Structure 1
Amino acid sequence: MPIVIKKKRKNPFPDIPDSFGYGQRAVDYLRRLKHPKSRLPNQAFQLDPWQEEIVRRIYGPCDEAGNRIVRNVVIMLPRGNRKTSLGAALSLLHTDGPEAVPGGEVIFAAADQKQAKIGFREVEGIVSAGDFLWRKGQASRRYDAGHHVKLQEYKNRITFPNGCFLEALSNDAGTQHGRTPVFALIDEIHAWQKRDLWDVIRTGLVKVPGSLSIVITTAGRGQENIAFDVIDYARKVARGEIEDPATLPVLYETPRDADWQSEDVWKAANPGLAYGYPDIHGLRQLAREAAQRPAERDAFRQLHLNIWLDHSSTPFVDMATYDEGAQPVYLEELAGEPCWLGVDLSSNSDLTVIVAAWRTGEDGYTVHPWFFCPRDNLHRKADRDGVPYPLWAEQGFIEPTPGNVVDFRAVEDTIRDLCQRFDIREIAFDPHLARNMMNTLREDGYPAVEMRQGWVTMAPAIKELERAIVAGRFQHGGHPVLRWNFDNIAVEIDKAGNKAFHKGKSKDRIDGAVAAAMAVARAAAGEGQGPSIFDDPDITAADLVW
């Protein structure tokens, strides 16, 4: 019988270090897998060149002792580029393959149980397509005498003969403390509403030498979430702003101003298109519909081009333009300048906010907010709204007041203090919930006025605010809570072209943006010149209703 010598596969990426051959070993293992939907001969797992490069960059580079350098991988891919299949294959690499540690814990984590189940089913499908035999709710594979793979459906767990197990977890299933994973696949982190499971996984990974975490996600919305933090860190590593060889960024994303209808742009963002996925005809149909429907356009840009969007699908202003005003605001330098306050008092669930506005330069404004929220259930409110209230409170961006509703006395004390520190010309209140505070302040001689929230008063205010932001004359210091409020705005336009603010979703907060519009409008009307109207003895309280 002739001896057949197999030709060693040539490494197509010689620039990627692989001194110990671990990158090649990983690629060889993945190519031995099968996939139930594969159209390759014998249902071979399809590992295309762009995927192979990722695998080699993860497992090839090692230090002199042979320890893998990469410990954190952030992969951002548009929908339809087989993220889940790649993640499932890598999970098997650490349970059944050469990267397995006997008894090791491998986690497949997702936002909710449904998404976690999708990943788990993908692993199950790859196992089923291989030389794994299933019987009576279990799978068995002929490793050696009597050893088999066990599937525990009710636990979303697969256990291998070496003691390794793969388990699917969801971020909505409560705490998972005590985990010690050697490998964690974090799926679609853009959909994670809270960071509990993320923190458990990250702190668990450091318990084990050589552990690895891989985030695979599409683009998300907004900046006040764990996904943006993770992606933004990876961007800084990719740009060289942060030196972190342990983090590998693989970011297929599209610039916000790119021509979203260009198929060349589609190909740049979707590496799988060159190999038949996602379906180009399907993308063309979605693009045709999106050209006529703005909401569909945003979904296309986010999910198929990986453009990180703002929260609102009908934004007030482009947040990149808003961010141009993030230069620091130095309050001590504004002490002698005319100042106007906008105050929006809250119901139980909303934020209460005071926004101060100063006129600067030519038709420009500088603003600074003071936010208040109830101290009780701060973490529960953070989970509900999907933003880090406790962290903002710790950093001084929000003042928690005792109890489960905002203490208006603390708000009034702050207003009085601001009147001592700055040259306050007017304090404009949304009169809803504010009657008592306004009357108290007026009795003590403070310039409290009403600013009703209808079209007549707010449409000009919103127009002036928009003009200042678009013109690059709105300085806000990058306050994160105020930015979140602006990012949440959905705009409603009447037949006359007047704009009104609305929440993008019922849980969104826009109070800071409303108060900013009020303060800017009063600053625009006051023009910052001459004495305050409250210095005129002929002005009465009745005259102060605007």
Structure 2
Amino acid sequence: MKCQLQLRKTAHDRLLAQSPEYFRNQLRIESEGHQPLREILEPWQQDDFAALDPAWRWLAEDRKPSRQGRLIRRAYIERPRGHSKTSDMAVQIAWILQYAKQNLRGVAAAADRDQAGLILNAIRKLIQLNPQLCRDLVVRKEYVENQLTGSRLELISSDVQSSWGILPDFVVCDELCHWEKADLWYSLLSSASKRRHCLLIVLTNAGVGRDWQWEVRENARRHHRWYFASLDGPHASWIQQESLEEQRQLLPLPVYERLWLNRWQHSDGEFVTLAEAEACRLDSLVYCDRGEPQYEYIAAIDYAEKRDYTVGIVLHCEGERLIVDRMDVVVPSANEPTPVAWVEEWMHEIASSFSVQRFIIDEYQLLGTIQRLENEYPIQRFEFAGSRGNHELAMLLRQLIVGRRVRWYSGCGQISGGERQDDLETELASLLLKQLGRGRIRIDHQSRLGYHDDRAFALGAACLYAVKGTASSDWLEMTLPDERGFQL
């Protein structure tokens, strides 16, 4: 009996070392009840695994000339959000590091360290749930390693210049559509070409535009040496239709189509239409010089000395709506930049005329003003240039405008003397929705055409604080955007 158990154990270990598929069939993953992976794998996942298994097996053994003919050593896998790109890749990496017969070096590259770290986190979870199957693997801060063989996966990102000259055995490029520059891609592609056996895999969601990432995609799709797989729309059974409908309602259409339908967008989409912006105008509202005692007010300032506008805005919460009381705009000229003194004078005036709950000020632009006045007035520092702050601002402002939950008076933010109507409404309609990495978005403008975004940013910052900072039950049903819906 003991001999039979030993034989079965030996056969089991031999199959684990020989077959990535057998390894997957033994794995448990972090799902409801820590389910066996084999019970929840879907056909599109199995297809991608099966296409790459021969190359992984060959890489794990002695790399003698293959008897199976030409192996696929290049893969481009494009899936919507929530379709297990990172988790499936972690399964393959865990197998090759655990069972390769020789020391291998792998590289996982991403747009930033946080994105690259998602693969390490996924491997760490596999090790925790399957200690016997991944018994020799240990995860460190920036790599995972087999303690016996020395095989290792290292993280690099687009801000690392040391990628030139490396000689990896396998390369994983995660979320290629979010890489801002092509330099890292070029270096990794050339490094992979230096070694005949190197396996190169691209994992990504659909992107925006027809830049170099699109060229990579199309070359992979057309080339006979590449495995190309792209899912059109959501296929994962674990993504509920109710959740998709919620995302469709919350997200701008181009963002929803790219993230969840996996469809490339030709260009950045519009932020809101002119009709949507004009619908927030309320003719009964007027520009206010003084506040009313029953309200507390939020004031925000977006300052620029020379090229852009300086904007001061005051608003308050009234039931389920935000009401813009006034918007003051200063336009600089070549000979007359906007002085910081204007900001401080404006703050003194607003504080004397309104019961100001908080001034929202850009720390980077107006640090001196903040230091001079923060003991006199309640000041909230806001990073207008921060990616997460911009994402929340863009998401919330768009929802408020489309839902008509922010209202302003006729001519709000109007600048006179130009050849065209130039107010808050026309500025909002001229904005583009810029799609960034990791599902984030921000509003952008076409400065070369003479457009600005300063009024929109000031409005958005004030609205963001008003919604986040209020404890009013009227806002409990307001969906404040966060990043959870973009990290599946």
TM-score (norm 2): 0.50
Q: Distance in 1 between matches of 2:25 and 2:66?
A: 27
Q: Is the 8 A contact 1:78 1:218 kept in 2?
A: yes
For 1:197-236, list aligned pairs within 5 A. Answer: 197-224=184-211, 226-235=212-221
Tell me the CA shift for residue 179 of structure 1.
1.8
Tell me the residue number matched to 1:178: 165
Structure 1 residue aligned with 2:176, among 186, 189, 195? 189
The number of residue pairs the alignment matches comes to 289
What letter corresponds to residue 73 of structure 1 in structure 2? A
Tell me the residue number matched to 2:239: 278
Tell me the residue number matched to 1:429: none
Q: Distance in 1 between matches of 2:417 and 2:110?
A: 43
- In 2 relative to 1, CA 68–86 (structure 1 residues): closer, same or farther, beyond 3 Å? farther
Q: Is the 8 A contact 2:79 2:262 kept in 1?
A: yes
Q: Is the 8 A contact 1:157 1:168 kept in 2?
A: no
Tell me the residue number matched to 1:127: 127
Q: Per-residue CA shift, 1:181-240, capped at 9, x if unaligned?
A: 11112111111111232222212212322211111111111122x4222222234x1xxx
Tell me the residue number matched to 1:248: 227
- In 2 relative to 1, CA 303–503 (structure 1 residues): closer, same or farther, beyond 3 Å? closer
- In 2 relative to 1, CA 305–500 (structure 1 residues): closer, same or farther, beyond 3 Å? closer
Q: Is the 8 A contact 2:272 2:428 kept in 1?
A: no
For 1:447-526, list aligned pairs within 5 A. Answer: 494=426, 510=446
- In 2 relative to 1, CA 60–166 (structure 1 residues): closer, same or farther, beyond 3 Å? closer
Q: Distance in 1 between matches of 2:417 and 2:175?
A: 40
Q: Is the 8 A contact 2:76 2:202 kept in 1?
A: yes
What letter corresponds to residue 102 of structure 1 in structure 2? Q
For 1:311-460, list aligned pairs within 5 A. Answer: 311-314=267-270
Q: Is the 8 A contact 1:36 1:43 kept in 2?
A: no
Q: Distance in 2 between matches of 1:513 and 1:121?
A: 44
State whether structure 2 residue 86 is matched by structure 1 residue 84. yes
Tell me the residue number matched to 2:51: 57
Q: How much identity, in percent, do the aligned residues show?
A: 21
Tell me the CA shift for residue 3 of structure 1.
7.5
Tell me the residue number matched to 1:27: 21
Which secondary structure does the structure 1 equivalent of 2:252 belong to?
Answer: helix
Q: Is the 8 A contact 1:30 1:45 kept in 2?
A: no
Which secondary structure does the structure 2 equivalent of 1:222 belong to?
Answer: coil
Gaps of 5+ in 1: 7-20, 134-139, 142-147, 238-243, 254-268, 318-346, 349-452, 460-490, 515-546
Tell me the CA shift for residue 82 of structure 1.
0.9
Tell me the CA shift for residue 492 of structure 1.
8.7
Q: Distance in 1 between matches of 2:252 and 2:444?
A: 21
What letter corresponds to residue 280 of structure 1 in structure 2? Q
State whether structure 2 residue 144 is matched by structure 1 residue 157. yes
Tell me the CA shift for residue 247 of structure 1.
0.4
Q: Distance in 2 between matches of 1:113 and 1:278?
A: 27
Q: Is the 8 A contact 1:94 1:106 kept in 2?
A: no
Q: Is the 8 A contact 1:31 1:47 kept in 2?
A: no
Q: Distance in 1 between matches of 2:194 and 2:229?
A: 25
- In 2 relative to 1, CA 279–170 (structure 1 residues): closer, same or farther, beyond 3 Å? farther
What letter corresponds to residue 228 of structure 1 in structure 2? W
Q: Is the 8 A contact 2:431 2:445 kept in 1?
A: no
Tell me the residue number matched to 1:385: none
- In 2 relative to 1, CA 512–232 (structure 1 residues): closer, same or farther, beyond 3 Å? farther
- In 2 relative to 1, CA 500–46 (structure 1 residues): closer, same or farther, beyond 3 Å? closer
- In 2 relative to 1, CA 456–91 (structure 1 residues): closer, same or farther, beyond 3 Å? same
Tell me the residue number matched to 1:36: 30
Which secondary structure does the structure 2 equivalent of 1:57 belong to?
Answer: helix
Q: Per-residue CA shift, 1:454-510, capped at 9, x if unaligned?
A: 997579xxxxxxxxxxxxxxxxxxxxxxxxxxxxxxx9964xxx9985565699785
Which secondary structure does the structure 2 equivalent of 1:75 belong to?
Answer: strand
Tell me the CA shift for residue 285 of structure 1.
2.2
